[in-house]
Amino acid sequence: MERIDSHQPAIRIEIPAVATESTETAEGFYKMRAWQQRCFNDVKDSQYWIINAPMAAGKSFQICAVAADRLRRDEHLKVIIAVPQTIIAAGFRQNKIELPDSTRVEWSVAEGHDLCKQTFPKSSAHLLKFLQGEAYKDMMGRVVLCTHAPLCQHR
């Protein structure tokens, strides 16, 4: 995967609040809504981006979808999803995603990589080990979910 210029500005996507219907397939996967497909296409190859949308619009799902796409295209990529509060981590733990190209991904953060369920000293040490270690071949072995605290500790 080609390295992206680190000086590019962040892409900002703003989504207005609107009522929507479920996008769940018969097999339990979720397709992207129209705004999510546009967002996906706009940010899938960008290094920096911001998604600004109302509560329960599907931002967490969207972040998982973009991360899943990037992880499947780059076997050396690692992803850290950092949330401000542990309660927010719930939206990132499990998602059954259908990407725009119809690829289906069962996003499930590995138990040992969900640092929001660990004490701070333990999560901080685990994050360092994750960053310094080799990338797993398994896509979800290259994903860590944590709060902001371990990131602030090791800046």
Residues 49-61: tens digit of each pLDDT: 888 888 888 999 9
Average pLDDT over residues 37-59: 90
Flag whether pLDDT at 41 surpasses 60: yes
Rounded CA-CA distance 107/28 in Å is: 13
Flag whether pLDDT at 71 surpasses 70: yes
- Regarding pTM above 0.75, the answer is yes
Among residues of the chain, what percentage have pLDDT more than 90?
Answer: 50
Q: Identify the burial level of 152 via C-beta atoms within 10 angstroms of its C-beta, where 0-12 means exposed, 13-18 middle and 19 or more buried.
A: exposed
Average pLDDT over residues 31-38: 93
Q: Which residues does 149 contact at the CB level (< 8 Å), separation at least 6?
A: 120, 123, 124
Predicted confidence band of residue 150 (pLDDT cuts 50, 70, 90): confident
Predicted confidence band of residue 6 (pLDDT cuts 50, 70, 90): low
Among residues of the chain, what percentage have pLDDT more than 70?
Answer: 88
What does pLDDT average to over the chain? 86
Between 2 and 26, whose confidence is greater? Answer: 26
